[in-house]
Structure 1
Amino acid sequence: MKNNHDLLHIGTKLLNWYYQNARDLPFRKTKDPYKIWICEIVFQQTRILQGLNHYNRFVERFPDVKTLAEASEDEVLLYWKGLGYYSRAINIHKAAKQIISDYNGIFPSQYEEILKLKGIGKYTAAAVSSICFKGKMPAVDGNFYRVLSRIFADDFDVSSSRAFAYFSELSYRIMPNNVGDFNQAMMDLGSEICKPRNPLCGDCPLNEDCIAFSLQKTSQFPVKTKKIKSENLNLQYFFVHREEQFLIQQRKDDFIWKKLFEFPTAIPEVLQQFSKGCKTFQHKLTHKNLSIDIYDVEVTSNEIWDHFVSEHDYLVTDLESSVNRSFPKPLENYIQNLLKD
């Protein structure tokens, strides 16, 4: 392996390419750590084009840490609607309160301090510190794993617990002084050129330096041996309704879909007589395959309805009002279909 000095030309090539080809994204026009933080969380599991409207809507409603910290958790979840991974929205809200209480409302500038914020990992802390505060940490993520594995034809297992540290060290070998732009360049190269499948090697500014490309083995990198087995889960819901009203409850924060609203998950025998049938839906989450049964329970007795509502802690809502609450995607789709009917 060449020494670091001999490899810095790779990072310089990458930066020159980035300055000519950087994606025109709204958060690229700011060094506001709050907005960079939000965009990094939004786009961790969402494609840029799919997430832009969500990002713009979120920062328009919550333009700064103070506004976000003072909002209710339910409203934050509502503005996160459609992005999934709602635990991230909960963590963002908690982190905003941390910044107010622990840092006097000022976003911390040091990598180690940013890392202390709720829900922020090494990648996001490195991205924010380098882009906004000239920090020197590579923002290692899947793009880094893929690009570096191919450049060096390195078969280090990216599923290893040591992968982040290993590829961080590898990054330093090619990383120029402008780490913020380098991190963003790696993100763009990995997203637009060095794709997981069918990479556009002919358009890559680093193809002359890429060992995997020279060996025609790009498809063999990165190496990943561990595969997490998906869990199969069966869920049951009861859409209990009378005329335009139906019942909902809020989920706890100890399982999937934390703090979102849902239909009742069980009903007593007195309500089962009103069941009109069941529809089953399939839904995939990260490492979970869900089979969801939703029973249509139309209560035609006012007396039974009133008694059941008064004896339980369910919230009563209607189709129009329900759009102001956040539901898991399968239940959101169920409601949307009813609105269309």
Structure 2
Amino acid sequence: MKTKKQNADFLHVGRKLLDWYKIHGRELPFRKTNDPYKIWICEIIFQQTRIEQGLNHYRNFIERFPDVQTLAEAETDEVLLYWKGLGYYSRALNLHKASLQIINDFNGVFPVDYDHILQLKGIGKYTAAAISSICFGKKNAAVDGNFYRVLSRLFADDFDISNSKAFDYFSELALKMMPENEAGHFNEAMMDLGSEICKPKNPKCESCPLNKDCIAFNLGKISGFPVKTKKVKPTDLDLYYSFVEYNGQFLVRQRKDDFIWKKLFEFPVEIPADWQLFVVKQKTIAHKLTHKNLSIQMSHVVLESQDIFTEFAHGNGFSIITYEESHQKSFPKPLENYLKDYYENKSLMR
């Protein structure tokens, strides 16, 4: 299907969107500021977290790390701790690295230019466009999944959003709709429309301020857009862990800065062969990552000798901690859930 966007009055549609946004825009704490640091934090948090789920995390993170300097001076483990519960911990690691870039490369001042913002670790085209438009009034379209969905439906445009050129293609389209000096508000309006009205499933087309202009809606073909043909097939990955316990304490070690779950804490992966005698329980945990299906074989090992327990810990770089102390460390979600379930059930059995 060829797009019919050439017949649309782009700016007229853009102004209708802004009129709707001024009345119906969401009341969010980070919309009361144009501080690029706070906008940056909120954009990273809400990339893969729903607003209602992430607001408390945002408030807590900003309270502990109110500016770039504070974040840069913090220890990595503490940054990960304040990210706990959000998942995708690489985002927190990148935030910390980028804060050091700002201190070292930009004299502690958040960069203004889009290209300079794009140089920061963990910041892509969408985030750079959002910050530059909202904070500095730069005319950049913050194209994300909401933009793809709204624009492809609005103009019945079958450009494949999995195409590597999709961001630039839909950016050009959005810029034609964007009224002058309204870049930040326009981007936020598109985010709200996509999140609240033009949803992936069961969109609220009757309530949409652009339904009269929406070609897909008027053709009755909303479900056909956006077009996405390329899908990344997840790979299977088997992992093996042993939860090694002695007298209410257990062993953990921090992962390295490579592969999955960077810098998070984990249980022992390999144990001496004769410890199989002390395995009291085994279970398999299924867990999905973005491009991986994990199958985690978990063995619960209860040792009877403190000497063996501490000798193994000291010889292999493990820390000995209690469940209460584990709250101050960041674990991959399936390991965190294992700990929680085990100690809650243990408590109920007392």
TM-score for the superposition, normalised by structure 2: 0.95
1:265-303 deviation digits (Å, cap 9, x = unpaired): 111123222111201111111121111111000010223
Contact 1:234-1:291 within 8 A present in 2 as well = yes
Distance in structure 1 (CA, Å) of the matches to 2:7 and 2:18:
17
In the alignment, is the contact (CA less than 8 A) between 2:139 and 2:175 conserved in 1? no
Q: Give how far 1:4 is off.
A: 9.6
Identify unmatched segments of 5+ residues in structure 1: none
Residue 281, structure 1, aligned to residue 280, structure 2 = no
Q: What residue in structure 2 maps to residue 102 of structure 1? A: 105
Q: CA deviation at 1:236?
A: 0.7
Counting only pairs closer than 5 Å after superposition, residues 175-190 of structure 1 correspond to structure 2 as 175-177=178-180, 178-190=182-194
Runs of 4 or more above 3 Å deviation: 1-6
Give yes or no for contact 1:239–1:263 (8 Å, CA) kept in 2: yes
Aligned letter for 1:182?
F
Q: Distance in 2 between matches of 1:152 and 1:5?
A: 8
Aligned to 2:257: 253
Asked if structure 2 preserves the Cα contact closer than 8 Å seen for 1:65 and 1:105, the reply is: yes
Q: 1:231: Cα distance to partner?
A: 1.1
Instruction: Give the C-alpha shift of residue 3 in structure 1.
Output: 6.1
In the alignment, which of 258, 267, 291 is matched to residue 263 of structure 1? 267
Q: CA deviation at 1:5?
A: 9.1
Q: How does 1:46-85 map to 2 (within 5 A)?
A: 46-85=49-88
The structure-2 alpha-carbon separation of the partners of 1:28 and 1:163, relative to structure 1 and needing over 3 Å to count, comes to same
What SS is found at the alignment partner of 2:284?
A: strand
SS at match of 1:173: helix
In structure 2, the residue matched to 1:38 is: 41
Checking the alignment, whether the CA contact within 8 Å between 1:4 and 1:173 is kept in structure 2 is no
| Displacement of 1:153 | 0.2
How far apart, CA to CA, are the structure 2 residues paired with 1:165 and 1:260?
35
Q: Deviations along 1:132-187, whole A, 9 cap, x unmatched? A: 00010000011110000001100000000110111111112211110000000000
The one of 215, 221, 227 aligned to 1:211: 215
Structure 1 residues 305 and 7: alpha-carbon distance in aligned structure 2, compared to 1, 3 A threshold: closer
Alpha carbons 2:5, 2:155 under 8 Å: kept: no
Q: Which one of the candidate residues 125, 128, 147 is aligned to 1:125? A: 128
Distance in 2 separating the partners of 1:147 and 1:238? 47
**C-alpha deviations, 1:206-245, integer Å up to 9, x for none?**
0011000110100000000011101111111000110121
Deviations 1:1-39 (A, max 9, x none): 566993200000000000000101000111110000000
Alignment counterpart, residue 9 of structure 1, candidates 12, 31, 37? 12
TM-score relative to the length of structure 1: 0.98
Identity %: 65
Residue pair 1:115, 1:122 contacting (<8 A) in 2 also: yes
In structure 2, what residue type is equivalent to 1:40?
Answer: E
Give the 3 Å change call, closer, same or farther, for CA 234–5 of structure 1 in structure 2: closer
CA contact (8 A) 1:3 1:173 kept: no
Kindly indicate whether residue 340 of structure 2 is the aligned counterpart of residue 336 of structure 1. Answer: yes
Alignment equivalent of 1:19, drawn from 17, 22, 36 = 22
In structure 1, what residue type is equivalent to 2:298?
I
Task: Output the CA distance in 2 between the equivalents of 1:2 and 1:82.
Answer: 42
* CA offset digits 1:68-111 (Å, max 9, x no partner): 00000000000000111101100000000111111111111111
